[in-house]
Structure 1
Amino acid sequence: MATLREIELRLKSVRNIQKITSTMKMIASAGLAKAQRSMNAAKVYGEANNEVFNQASDIKPEGKNLFLVISSDKGLCGGIHSSVTKATRKALTGHPESPLPGTTIDPETPIMVVGDKAKAQLSRSVADNLRLSFNQIGRDVPTFTDAASVADLIIQSGVEYDSVILVYNRFATAISYEPTALVINGEKALAESENFRAYEMEDDFTKDLAQFALANAIYSALVEGHASEISARRNAMDNASKNASDMITALQMQYNRGRQAAITNELVDIITGASAL
């Protein structure tokens, strides 16, 4: 059984942890509002992409694919990173709960990762598929410049692909998120689209359109994933603070009972000694 001194030290430690988690919750709450504003602004880019690819609805995610997993370098945010890595593994193995139902993906499809956390998890299961990783993105609200840099490095990497499959956490509410896969078609797929061929165009626009659409999609996924991460961190810190409060209550009760027992034993010794005299 723990001594009163040990219980007192543990109480002090848990109280300090509660102060830290409460502070981190307040910081995350303040950052969530900023992240949501940026996410709403970035949705314009995503809507523009949707409008473009709605005109190419006959394109299927076939041929050579490339996975781009959107995560971050930070922890203490629940299962936000493991959700996208699990979704990626399910897509590669053809799991019934795959984010791309009805689509056959080559198990050896190359993977690129944004964020060290998801990279570390995927390195343990599909290390042979990893081709490139990006870090230091998401420390603050992601910008279009960050997304354009990622898209440029993907294009220059030399990895051949017909379409990029973005796997990221879609922001649902302030307390929930959902791993989502989004297919971004490449230059070849756009050029072969019958819907795009219906338009008469003097110049070949598909290369520039494919590159710009990829940057747009990455930007939209980055800011939505960032908002999901901040929301998950706030919820995780809130749960940690509540758990710390429960531990403090239990330890305080244990300390009070131990202290009361020690006082009772001392009184019994005093009364016994007085009776003997």
Structure 2
Amino acid sequence: MLARRTLGRIAAQPPVLGAAPSGSRNMATLREIELRLKSVRNIEKITKSMKMIASTKLAKAQRAMQAGKQYGIANSEVFEHSPVEESGKRRLFLVISSDKGLCGGIHSSVSKAARRALADKDAPVESDTPVMVIGDKAKAQLARAAGKNIVMSFNQIGRDIPTFADAAGVADLIIKSGVKYDIVTIVYNQFVSALSYEATTMQVESESALKESPGFKAYEMEDDVTKDLAEFSLANAIYATLVESHACEQSARRNAMDNASKNATDMISKLQMQYNRGRQAAITNELVDIITGASAL
């Protein structure tokens, strides 16, 4: 009689090692922990691979950024000698981002800076201040707060290292769009170091603004000269900000993937410890039941 009760108790144990006892709720079984461990390990492999790819692209992007900065420096020297009165001028905001994600707060950074710039210049988001966006991510974010202001958007730019041809194409479309403006305010991410960046702005004057500046009024020149200079200056500024934003994106993606890999490693350690404890508890319970049954016999 006693042996029959003992065998019945042993047969009632869970058939799978580490399975949750009958009637238990919200208890992770060893099988569930094992599947979760496998999933987190796969994620860790992916994030480590993406970090290595981003590190390689960052080195190339930094070299392109150093070359592209010369275009921005040349523009700054021109506009320093031709200051323009900004009050009462119609502005066009050009927000530079990208189409890809998994790169930290790159997109939200320029979106917030664009909204602040609109407010700082006494141009609330409900006004008719035109906004153009490079990159689908920033466009989606700005569409919620300033959707009526977005007059044009660009995508598929910066998939690889941006070129001057990309910047010239964007500048040409802006000029041919028919949008009236006196000053173009470019909102982009400025590269500070491999670990940090900050959203900033760059001013580019239009043809009409250059003609009204005291530095240009002092000389007699043909209209085509000022027009060509304004178009070339806009392309230069867009190129310089594109390559710098691209470098920031690769840097942020590498840091994001590095943090994700570290988080995955920590989670693997915790899950592995939980799995080992659960497995040890299950084996101990099996041994206790076997020894109890043998003692009863």
Output one character per residue of 1:228-250: Cα deviation in whole Å (capped at 9) or x when no partner.
00000000000000000000000
Match of 2:166 in 1: 146
Residue 84, structure 1, aligned to residue 110, structure 2: yes
User: Conserved in 1, the CA contact under 8 Å of 2:30 and 2:275?
Assistant: yes
- Equivalent position amino acid for 1:104 in 2: D
Q: Does residue 21 in structure 1 map to residue 39 in structure 2?
A: no
TM-score (norm 2): 0.88
Q: Report what 1:53 is aligned to.
A: 79
For 1:64, give the aligned amino acid.
Answer: R
Alignment deviations for residues 21-76 of structure 1 (CA, whole Å, 9 cap, x no partner): 00000000000000000000011111110111011124426411111000000000
TM-superposed deviation, 1:198: 1.8
Percentage identity across paired residues of the two chains: 71
5, 9, 31: which one aligns with 1:5: 31
Instruction: Give the Cα–Cα distance (whole angstroms) in 2 for the partners of residues 32 and 135 of structure 1.
Output: 21
2:122 to 104, 119, 126: 104
Q: Distance in 2 between matches of 1:268 and 1:234?
A: 51
Q: What 5-or-longer segments of structure 2 have no aligned partner?
A: 1-26
Does structure 2 retain, via aligned residues, the 8 Å contact 1:61–1:185? no
What are the ranges of 5 or more consecutive residues in structure 1 without an aligned counterpart? 95-102
Kept after mapping to 2: 8 A contact 1:61/1:183: no
Partner residue, 2:218: 198
- CA RMSD across the alignment: 1.2
Other-structure match for 1:241? 261
- Of 141, 156, 172, 1:121 maps to 141
Per-residue CA shift, 1:120-158, capped at 9, x if unaligned?
Answer: 111111110010000000100000000000000001111
AA in 1 matched with 2:293: G
Residues 63-113 of structure 1: CA deviation (Å, up to 9, x unaligned): 11111000000000011000000011111223xxxxxxxx43354211000
For residues 158-180 of structure 1, the C-alpha deviation after alignment (integer angstroms, 9 at most, x for no partner) is: 11101110000000000000101
Contact 1:62 1:162 in 2 (8 A): no
What is the SS of the residue equivalent to 1:46?
helix
| Amino acid of the structure 2 residue aligned with 1:72 | S
Which range moved further: 201-210 or 148-157? 201-210
Determine if the alignment matches structure 1 residue 224 to structure 2 residue 244.
Answer: yes
Matched-pair contact (CA < 8 Å) for 1:123–1:130 = yes
Structure 2 counterpart SS, 1:140: coil
Q: Does structure 1 conserve the Cα–Cα contact (< 8 Å) formed by 2:84 and 2:209? A: no
Using the TM superposition, name which of 135-144 and 197-206 deviates more: 197-206
* Larger Cα-atom Rg: 2
Shift of 1:253: 0.3
Partner AA of 1:209 in structure 2: L
Structure-2 residue corresponding to 1:274: 294
- Give yes or no for contact 2:83–2:214 (8 Å, CA) kept in 1: no
Q: Is the 8 A contact 1:61 1:163 kept in 2?
A: no
- Mapped to 2, the partners of 1:143 and 1:204 lie a distance apart of 25
Q: Which amino acid aligns with 2:86?
A: K
**Aligned match of 2:193:** 173
Secondary structure of 2:254's counterpart equals: helix
